[in-house]
């Protein structure tokens, strides 16, 4: 399958310096936070690519840059062969943006509480002028609500009259209203109960099969990722440390950080098996460790790991794997 979304060497640096006067008085230099450092991946049409990692790893920053809500400090995002920053005209940029939508984490905050649902869902239709006439727009809104498991009459209600799962259904209907082909899902079920999560995930998979949608899924929930993703990228402190098909990553993880994440997931099938506990916390991104960012927490780190940044080769960025000191899927000691 061809790559529908291509992300190349994406970077984002935030200036977190104190105000100028404070820096002069306290004799402090500017301070920068590198949230994303050289992230590269592609997503085939109709595929679900997931980014996972602990909070602070840069997943949501990548998502916002991919949809154009945040300007990259470097790198490129290309959608179906068109660079996000290189659209030649306003009309071309609008056509490109129509094909991209985003489902946000919190359905309580992502919907305007003062608008009725029919107005919320119809907003992309009106913005992109997809239908002419109020009757046609109302009919399309009713169709979209039915598409996500709601009743067309629900369009008369306000968001506060729905449950959390129903609000996320409204958010999905809004994302589909522009006839989007690529949807970025930023923790779409983390604010929902477990039973409701399953309903929303099944709805998303059904819509993907019926409409040929392409998803970028941002999550820290590995159970959700295993259910949804075709391929997975594991992020740590702004970098991708491992990329693999879902079944391969869960069956034979390579990077020590991926193994640590998987060992933290409860699994009844492996009761009694020795597990590697999650060690330490993610470092301060303003002053990250040198070399491999994971080296302070890694039981397999050596001097080279502390000096050199490992390249992403054969789907993993780890000196221990590249040197043969660690076998995929096994916790060999150094």
Q: What pLDDT is attached to residue 206?
A: 94
First-residue to last-residue Cα distance in the chain: 39
* CB neighbourhood size of 201 (10 A): 19
Per-residue confidence (pLDDT) for residue 283, from 0 to 100: 87
User: What is the pLDDT at residue 88?
Assistant: 54
pLDDT for res 266: 60
DSSP 8-state symbol, 144:
H
| Residues in the chain with pLDDT values less than 70 | 1, 86-90, 265-279, 329-334
Q: List, as one string, the DSSP characters of 27-65.
A: T----EEEEEEEEEEEEETT-EEEEE-STTSSHHHHHHH
Q: Helices in the chain by DSSP H: which ranges?
A: 20-26, 59-67, 90-98, 117-127, 134-147, 164-176, 194-211, 222-228, 246-251, 256-263, 303-307, 319-322
Pairing of strands 182-186, 231-236: unpaired
Helix, strand and coil in the chain, % to nearest 5: 35, 20, 40
pLDDT for the residue 268 = 45
Task: Give the pLDDT of residue 93.
Answer: 74
- pLDDT tens column, 118-174: 999 999 999 998 998 999 999 999 999 999 999 999 999 999 999 989 999 999 999
pLDDT of residue 276: 60
> Whole-prediction pTM value?
0.89
Strands 214-219, 182-186: parallel, antiparallel or unpaired by DSSP?
parallel
């Amino acid at each position: 399958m061809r790559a529908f979304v291509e992300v190349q060497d994406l970077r984002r640096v935030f200036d977190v310096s104190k105000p100028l006067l404070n820096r002069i008085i306290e004799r402090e230099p500017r301070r920068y936070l590198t949230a994303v450092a050289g992230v590269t991946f592609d997503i085939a049409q109709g595929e679900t690519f997931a980014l996972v990692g602990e909070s602070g790893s840069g997943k949501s920053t990548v998502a916002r840059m991919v949809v154009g809500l945040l300007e990259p400090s470097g790198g490129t995002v290309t959608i179906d062969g068109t660079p996000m920053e290189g659209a030649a005209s306003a009309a071309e940029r609008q056509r490109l943006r129509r094909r991209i939508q985003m489902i946000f984490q919190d359905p309580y905050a992502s919907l305007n509480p003062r608008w009725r649902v029919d107005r919320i869902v119809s907003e992309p239709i009106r913005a992109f002028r997809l239908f002419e006439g109020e009757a046609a727009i109302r009919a399309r809104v009713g169709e979209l609500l039915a598409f996500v498991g709601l009743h067309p009459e629900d369009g008369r209600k306000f968001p506060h009259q729905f449950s959390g799962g129903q609000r996320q259904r409204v958010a999905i209907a809004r994302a589909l209203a522009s006839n989007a082909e690529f949807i970025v899902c930023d923790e779409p079920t983390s604010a929902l109960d477990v039973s409701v999560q399953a309903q929303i995930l099944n709805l998303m998979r059904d819509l993907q099969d019926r409409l040929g949608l392409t998803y970028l899924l941002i999550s820290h929930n590995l159970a959700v990722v295993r259910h949804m993703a075709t391929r997975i990228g594991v992020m740590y402190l702004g970098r991708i440390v491992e990329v693999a098909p879902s079944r391969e990553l869960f069956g034979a993880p390579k990077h020590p950080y991926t193994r640590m994440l998987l060992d933290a997931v409860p699994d009844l099938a492996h009761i009694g098996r020795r597990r590697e506990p999650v060690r330490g916390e993610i470092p301060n991104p303003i002053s990250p460790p040198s070399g491999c960012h994971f080296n302070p927490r890694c039981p397999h780190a050596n001097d080279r790991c502390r000096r050199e940044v490992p390249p992403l080769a054969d789907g993993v960025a780890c000196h221990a794997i590249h040197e043969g000191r660690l076998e995929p899927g096994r916790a060999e000691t150094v």
